[in-house]
Structure 1
């Protein structure tokens, strides 16, 4: 038999395994099933943990992101391109962003064709902007060339001349102290900045200046 030597500060009688209360009273035949000093699983408490809400690969709450997008669309007109840019600024993964855009289009919350016509009408009638300026502004909002062309087709040359003349008549009233040459120069610059063609500018200025006499 091998002699075991203990270190001076070790009392072998104090290091005997203590029977676990869980195993107390069990048959010794089962003692080989569980190593000494190891509690059985029946003594371990398991706590149910509530599963977290579904989030994207980027750690975003997709439901919250969708609600935020819908509130934004409710408060302002946006093109598909603008929504894509907004989602990118929120670090939305491409797949999730594409799914949200498709859903908004399917529900008609997003519609570039409708938006192009509404903007063309608004910019022409309320802002007095020409087709060239409207085209540029719609392009800046990411609307396709085909949709822009269809939208501005509804604005014909007669409409543009009428609007340009209306704007010139309003502006010429502010030039009562100016001579005709100076007033005409101011009117030409004013209408040209709105993108009207040379023919329309000349016709509108002529009509406005004739109202001064």
Structure 2
């Protein structure tokens, strides 16, 4: 092969990963690999021609550029899609949601602070979130155990004619604070309770005319006791309702 032909072939062979070998009059020494070397080469070298030979530096640069690209894309994520957090790790979005839940519950009926706490915990909100929301509702008087107790007393007296003990049981069932219960009941007048019991007894006595006097007295007393009136109030109300001037019995 002439020198001119060698110069034409050299660039082509370099592109295919081979280093041009200068012409020499002496034939290059041919090395015959051993059987072990051949087996090792076959197991490590993929089949087919290798057209591009990347150096170690090029491969390293390519590997390092990929994580950097992902990190840059993450940093470009819109701020609106990332929820801000407070020191406790709770997202502000969760506080917005718990406020919506509590306000919806209060729109349906009045609730005590304990009722609201149990309700929110039952909706699987975190304890810290619930504490903050309860404080917020109490600070704006949306939760007020005393006001709720006073409202319930007026409603239960008007609609069901309940006495003091029945009112106390109902307020406790609603998990109202004990101090609020005692404060609300303290304003009840004993004379007013007797008047209510007598009014209920007189109305009920008219439905007992078919009974004898002893049975009517027992049933009327039991009825008033179930309404939560004390023994002294029941005795006076029954005596007045079943007096000779009242309904006649067998």
TM-score normalized with structure 2 length: 0.67
The structure-2 alpha-carbon separation of the partners of 1:178 and 1:17, relative to structure 1 and needing over 3 Å to count, comes to same
Identify which range, 84-93 or 54-63, moves more after superposition.
54-63
Query: Which ranges in structure 1 are unaligned for 5 or more consecutive residues?
Result: 20-30
Please identify runs of 4+ aligned residues in structure 1 that moved more than 6 A.
54-60
**Partner of residue 183 from structure 1, selected from 196, 210, 216:** 216
Give the structure with higher Rg (CA): 2
Mean Cα displacement is larger for which, 182-191 or 135-144?
A: 135-144
> Which residue of structure 2 aligns with residue 14 of structure 1?
49
Structure 1 residues 64 and 54, CA gap change in structure 2 (3 angstroms): farther
Higher helix share: 2
Q: Which has the higher contact order (CA 8 A, sep 6+)?
A: 1
Aligned length, in residue pairs:
201
Identify which of 93, 115, 131 aligns with 2:126: 93
CA distance in 2: counterparts of 1:8 and 1:159, whole angstroms: 103
Q: Deviations over 1:177-202 (max 9, x none)?
A: 12222111110000011221222111
The 1:204/1:14 distance shift into structure 2, 3 A limit, reads same
Q: CA deviation at 1:120?
A: 1.8
Alignment of 1:94-133 (within 5 A): 94-133=127-166
Structure-2 residue corresponding to 1:152:
185
Task: Determine the C-alpha separation between the residues in 1 that align with 2:106 and 2:225.
Answer: 34
Aligned 8 A contact 1:164 1:204 in 2: yes
Please say if residues 164 and 196 of structure 1, whose CA atoms lie closer than 8 Å, have aligned partners that are also in contact.
yes
Distance 2:195 2:220 in 1: 15
1:35 and 2:35 aligned? no
Cα distance change of structure 1 residues 162 and 54 upon mapping to structure 2, 3 Å threshold: farther
Aligned-residue offset at 1:62: 3.4
Call closer, same or farther: CA 1:33–1:194 in 2, change over 3 Å. Answer: same
**What's the Cα RMSD here?**
3.4
Other structure's SS at 2:60 match: coil
Q: TM-score, normalised by structure 1?
A: 0.78
The 1:40/1:153 distance shift into structure 2, 3 A limit, reads closer
